[in-house]
Structure 1
Amino acid sequence: MTNPKNNVISFLNMKGGVGKTTLCLSLAYQLTNDYDKKILIIDMDPQFNATQTMMEQYNLINDYLDDYREKKTVKRIFDRKQTLAGSVEEESVEPDEIIISSDINSNLDIICGNIDLIFEDKNQDSVSKKRLDIFLKKHNLRNEYDFIFIDCPPTISFFTDASLIASDHYLIPVKIDKFSTLGVKMLDNVVGLMKEDPDFRINCLGIIYTLQEDQKKLEGIREVFEENSIVSRYNIFDNGMKKHNHLLSGERGNIAYNYEETKGDMLLICNEFLFAYEQVGEPGE
């Protein structure tokens, strides 16, 4: 086995409604099409919006509803079975059992999410939080892909912890409003607590503004946000994702690459993302 790349990146913010999934999918789609990167998306959010978009993009909605939802989702990685002796064993799952590919974009694969994840949150122990990390390492998936993007829940949960444990880096999508600081503060606390474990190593690639609006009243809010003592420690991308009706309700889904009006902005974010990724050190440095 070759040395694994540090290319697993979580997208998360403890505040919902910030365009997290849109950024994750749009960045992945642009990188696979314009930079020929091979990317795996893992949908760890019980709202499974990334899954819904990708199943629609790949014309697989019926397949998901009829088959994938039960047999080919990230839930399989965390499933446990009862033995005849009454003990609980972790089930073993192979990548080809749950990774979904499509000729529509052969560079972009996905491990689907499942709304049933919400019921699993209370049924897992601390050891099980490492199951995703173990799965990626066991099957050498870091070397199979240029990047692995994890779309995380916007909450403190078992699956947020599991995502961070499996990640080398994370990105923080931020929509500027009066509550922007709260989401970043809460996330900073979560990561800080996890870093008390000496084996937990992760870096933040930065904050990316999403759903940006050209409104004078938001300029002051943004200034206050950036002056916050916690926020000021993070790299803030120069390029962001503008708010656009197509990304909210367009017929081609919430992927910027699908619309001429938005793919240009995402191309700039891609360039800055690749630069930030190349500049960052080993996880935890």
Structure 2
Amino acid sequence: MAVISVVNMKGGVAKTTLATNLADTLVRRHGRKVLLVDLDPQFNATQCLISPEKYVKSRAAGQPTIVSIFDDAPMAVSAVEGAKPQAPIALKDIKPWRIKENFDLLPGDLELYRLEMGGGQGREQRLKRYLEAINAAEIYDFVIVDTPPTPSHWMMAALLASDGYLVPVKPEPLSRTGIDLLRGVVERFSQNYGHPIECVGVVLTIVETNTVVYREAVEFLDKNPVWAGKRYAASLPKRVKLAKGQGHQALIFDLDDNDLKRGITGIAKEFAEKANG
């Protein structure tokens, strides 16, 4: 099993689009068993896979979310009695939600914002401990973690649980600057925690191949001594209908767009080879 975080310190680079569709393609085209972990407090990956109605209904029925992993002092709130502490769920008893056969999701939760994570609490280790507690290595081929677009304790928790990280990059100057900043953050993290983590690739997203900025981005990545050899040959083309479809839980293979399908298929193939390696 490989645990891979999808990370970028800049929003708007299709990070969640890549994470959700990569997971889906690994299941559909490669027959892999995948767990997607939504560790972004905005829980966009969850919204790409589960309708609001189903999410609310499942939460009302007591289905766990990412908060269940990190909240070791949960509170039950009553309009009559107010907030009362309740026993936390044992990590081994937190079950991911089934999206479809071989594809599970540990859904996000806006309540993640209310949790504070300070040094010495041990919470930054809880995702790693959770994956160990449920024997994820025996169940899944890949665990893909969608992370927040800013350095935070949640990103730290994702990286501590991960074997590697994948970087989506929109071909524009600011995004290219962002990945160099990201590299610095990951390197400092690796040194501080003694947890080496490898970049398993850079994926160009929201691509228009006939533009100057695209050609400049390719040249930058291929000639930069840090990122040379990391760029995936396949990329995700820019499509308005992809963004629109996500609001209705439509993934790339649900759309009538062969370029998108070829792009994510190529990305998934290279990812499977590099992440396993």
Q: Distance in 1 between matches of 2:166 and 2:112?
A: 23
- Other-structure match for 1:259: 255
Q: Distance in 1 between matches of 2:223 and 2:93?
A: 45
Per-residue deviation at 1:94?
4.1
What's the RMSD between the two structures over aligned residues? 2.6
2:113 paired with 1:118: yes
**Residue of 64, 67, 73 corresponding to 2:55:** 64
- Other-structure match for 1:85: none
Matched residues, number: 263
**Residue of 191, 194, 201 corresponding to 2:189:** 194
**TM-score, with structure 1 as normaliser:** 0.83
Question: Compared with structure 1, are the counterparts of its residues 223 and 66 closer, same or farther at alpha carbon in structure 2 (3 Å cutoff)?
Answer: closer
Q: Is 1:185–1:230's contact at 8 Å kept on the other side of the alignment?
A: no
Q: Is 1:210–1:240's contact at 8 Å kept on the other side of the alignment?
A: yes
What amino acid is the match of 1:274? A
2:73 partner SS: strand
Deviations 1:165-190 (A, max 9, x none): 00011100000112012221221111
Structure 2, gaps ≥5 residues long:
75-84
Q: Distance in 2 between matches of 1:234 and 1:165?
A: 25
**Residue of 86, 96, 100 corresponding to 1:99:** 96
What amino acid is the match of 2:101? S
**Residue of 65, 69, 77 corresponding to 1:73:** 65
1:34 partner SS: helix
What amino acid is the match of 2:31? D
Q: Distance in 2 between matches of 1:16 and 1:270?
A: 22
Moved more, 145-154 or 72-81: 72-81
Deviations 1:176-216 (A, max 9, x none): 11201222122111111111146312111010111101343
Q: Distance in 1 between matches of 2:255 and 2:172?
A: 26
Question: Compared with structure 1, are the counterparts of its residues 194 and 89 closer, same or farther at alpha carbon in structure 2 (3 Å cutoff)?
Answer: farther
Deviations 1:71-126 (A, max 9, x none): 411111111228xxxxx999343455341014xx2111100001121222x34434
Q: Is 1:40–1:145's contact at 8 Å kept on the other side of the alignment?
A: yes
Q: Distance in 2 between matches of 1:132 and 1:194?
A: 16
Q: Is 1:100–1:110's contact at 8 Å kept on the other side of the alignment?
A: yes
Deviations 1:215-248 (A, max 9, x none): 4321453156326746435611111111112211
- Other-structure match for 1:41: 36
Question: Compared with structure 1, are the counterparts of its residues 36 and 229 closer, same or farther at alpha carbon in structure 2 (3 Å cutoff)?
Answer: closer
Q: Is 1:180–1:225's contact at 8 Å kept on the other side of the alignment?
A: no
**TM-score, with structure 2 as normaliser:** 0.86
Moved more, 108-117 or 179-188: 179-188
- Other-structure match for 1:151: 146
Question: Compared with structure 1, are the counterparts of its residues 227 and 107 closer, same or farther at alpha carbon in structure 2 (3 Å cutoff)?
Answer: closer
Q: Is 1:204–1:234's contact at 8 Å kept on the other side of the alignment?
A: no
Question: Compared with structure 1, are the counterparts of its residues 172 and 263 closer, same or farther at alpha carbon in structure 2 (3 Å cutoff)?
Answer: same
Q: Is 2:222–2:231's contact at 8 Å kept on the other side of the alignment?
A: no
2:180 partner SS: helix
Question: Compared with structure 1, are the counterparts of its residues 142 and 245 closer, same or farther at alpha carbon in structure 2 (3 Å cutoff)?
Answer: same
Alignment of 1:1-285 (within 5 A): 5=1, 7-56=2-51, 61-68=52-59, 71-81=63-73, 91-95=88-92, 97-102=94-99, 105-120=100-115, 122-126=116-120, 127-197=122-192, 199-223=194-218, 225-226=220-221, 229=224, 231-233=226-228, 235-250=230-245, 252-253=248-249, 255-261=251-257, 262-278=260-276, 280=277
Q: Distance in 2 between matches of 1:106 and 1:217?
A: 42
What amino acid is the match of 2:73? K
